[in-house]
Amino acid sequence: MDRIAELAKRKTFGIVSHPDAGKTTLTEKLLLFGGAIQEAGAVKSNKIKKHATSDFMEIEKQRGISVATSVMAFEYRDKQVNILDTPGHKDFAEDTYRTLTAVDSVIVVIDVAKGVEEQTEKLVEVCRMRNTPIIVFINKLDREGKDAFDLLDEVEGKLKLKVTPLSWPVGMGQRFKGVYSLYEKNLILFNPHGKQEEEGIVKIENLDDKLLDARIGEREAAELREEVETITSVYPEFERQNYLNGDICPVFFGSAVNNFGVRELLDCFIDIAPNPLPRETEEREILPEEEKFTGFVFKIHANMDPKHRDRIAFLRICSGVFERNTNYFHVRQGKNMKFPNPTAFMASKKSVIDEAYPGDIVGLYDSGNFKIGDTLTEGEILHFKGIPSFSPEQFRFVNNTDPMKTKQLAKGLDQLMDEGVAQLFTKEDNGRKIIGTVGALQFEVIQHRLKNEYGASCNYEPVNLYKACWVTCKDPLALKEFISRRKKDLAKDTDGKLVFLAESAWTMKMAQENHPDVEFHFTSEI
């Protein structure tokens, strides 16, 4: 099939939300529309509750399940939609950040009652850094919640996004009558018991139409007219280009569990969401239309079965066509590799594919060759940008407790770090190793996996650290001076990059003040 036509069919995106806002439910409804699943509950039943857990086995279970639901692809209106799952558990934050590097747009789900929550703020910040186009879906309108205008203010204030509503609710909770689509100029009437019927959609081009009063009542109609007037005077008119530039976010209202407002969201998404976008590398920009294949690994998943050490590396295709059993160049390792069994993910099914196009994600079986951020090409030396590590928030010294298993421990730690489970720093002064994670549970997961998968044992020792940041300096003399003065606070990450380990906000500030020529970076992308 024509490469350019295939590319034009792809829409690759992620859904982000705070746990419980309705991401899983929305994903499921989208898959139902796409015919990728036949019944509600198929994705949901795969889900493990993400909150209220101090049991790391929950994370282990999620890890197993999330292979199946990592990428879900379906066809809708002649387009191929690829949804990338963004893990919801707070301990997976970094995994989610990285998944966002492989999407071309996102849908943010917000609970009407809770408004903008913490995790959404963090994730949207990452999207904003990359100008990712965003659509906002305000969910659970069948429940009482915040005032719609207040919510828009909250989105603008907390998420620092400019918005323009493309649909508007008529009432909420008990009084929820439906939404008016400013995009399609339709009134969509809410039917709480299931399917949205065709007759529930009333074409109303002009809001002065008396039909509006007849369908939702005079008082509600008057209110809607007034609110829509306010919207048109306060919010900018929707222009696709502004959305594509990441300058403006369309907002939709609905109720995912009632399948309400979801089709409108999906139809608009199909109309406006970007096809695979160009990607930056250190060397040059890669256009998806280019004939030669390029792609990068954004996620690595270990096999849960300790007897099979193989892993799955998730590769995002950026240009050209990826073909099965063809030699590609692994840039970091400087060698050619071919893949006899690349898999595509269609909802929860996996199948071997012969070729894949830009925007697609393929799973490659890997026996330890890949690290997050690795690039495959047809020979060109390229390094994709935008797959940074972030400063961890929790740190501990790691000690080997079984001297007979030193090799196993080193190998296990190496591989877990390649997967992006945590970050490992080796201190410059005494060679001690420090593990840094985003969430505390990761320490237990690491200990458990080292034992189970590598037969190695370790324990942890507290270390008082506030932040790790990567340092660079244009002036070699100033760098040398910094290194000799701060040796006890310095370490190397697994790529050999120099890292400053600050004990407190104050130490951080002092280091910055005393060494003005040294640059401190809070992500590894420097």
Residue 358 near ligand G4P by CB under 6 A:
no
Site string for ligand G4P, 280-309 (x = CB under 6 A): ------------------------------
User: Cα 356 vs. chain centroid, distance in angstroms?
Assistant: 21
Q: What whole-number distance in Å separates Cα of residue 15 and Cα of residue 319?
A: 23
**Of 21-29, 165-173, 283-291, 381-389, which segment contacts ligand G4P by CB under 6 A?**
21-29
Residue 256 near ligand G4P by CB under 6 A:
yes
Residue 257 near ligand G4P by CB under 6 A:
yes
CB of 235 to ligand G4P, least distance (A): 24
Q: What are phi and psi of 490, to 5 degrees?
A: -110, 150
CB of 19 to ligand G4P, least distance (A): 4
CB of 109 to ligand G4P, least distance (A): 6
Closest by CA position to 141, among listed 270, 262, 18, 19: 262
**Of 59-67, 134-142, 285-293, 445-453, which segment contacts ligand G4P by CB under 6 A?**
134-142
Count each helix (H run) and each strand (E run) in the chain, helices first.
14, 31
User: Cα 378 vs. chain centroid, distance in angstroms?
Assistant: 27
Which lies closer to ligand G4P via its Cβ, residue 110 or residue 465?
110
Contact 30, 14 (CB under 8 A): no
Is 453 buried (19+), middle (13-18) or exposed (0-12) by CB count in 10 A? buried
Site string for ligand G4P, 164-203 (x = CB under 6 A): ----------------------------------------
CB of 290 to ligand G4P, least distance (A): 36
**Of 13-21, 147-155, 230-238, 497-505, which segment contacts ligand G4P by CB under 6 A?**
13-21
Amino acid at 514: N
What distances in angstroms separate CA 284 from CA 248, 291, 487, one per listed residue? 27, 15, 36
Closest by CA position to 87, among listed 495, 438, 436: 438
Among 122, 130, 143, 411, binds ligand G4P (CB under 6 A): 143
Which lies closer to ligand G4P via its Cβ, residue 45 or residue 245?
45
CB of 21 to ligand G4P, least distance (A): 5
Which lies closer to ligand G4P via its Cβ, residue 142 or residue 418?
142
Sign of the torsion angle spanned by Cα atoms 297, 458, 424, 430? negative
Which lies closer to ligand G4P via its Cβ, residue 23 or residue 515?
23
Residue 255 near ligand G4P by CB under 6 A:
yes
Contact 35, 299 (CB under 8 A): no
CB of 151 to ligand G4P, least distance (A): 15
Considering CB under 6 A, how many residues would be counted as binding ligand G4P?
Answer: 18
Which lies closer to ligand G4P via its Cβ, residue 24 or residue 105?
24
CB of 384 to ligand G4P, least distance (A): 29
- CA atoms within 13 A of residue 86's CA, in its CB half-sphere: 33
Residue 124 near ligand G4P by CB under 6 A:
no
**Tokens linked to 391:** 């400063």
Closest by CA position to 478, among listed 508, 442, 517: 517
**Of 139-147, 245-253, 388-396, 440-448, which segment contacts ligand G4P by CB under 6 A?**
139-147
Residue 24 near ligand G4P by CB under 6 A:
yes
Residue 108, H or E segment: strand 105-111
Residue 338, H or E segment: none
Helix spans in 370-433 (H): 406-418
DSSP characters over 22-76 = SHHHHHHHHHHHTTS-SSTTTTGGG----SS---HHHHHHHHHHHHHTSEEEEEE
Helix spans in 381-502 (H): 406-418, 441-454, 476-486
CB of 438 to ligand G4P, least distance (A): 18
CB of 50 to ligand G4P, least distance (A): 6
Site string for ligand G4P, 56-95 (x = CB under 6 A): --------------------------------x-------
**Of 254-262, 274-282, 285-293, 378-386, which segment contacts ligand G4P by CB under 6 A?**
254-262
Length in residues, the chain: 526
Contacts to ligand G4P by CB under 6 A: 17, 19-25, 44, 88, 139-140, 142-143, 255-258
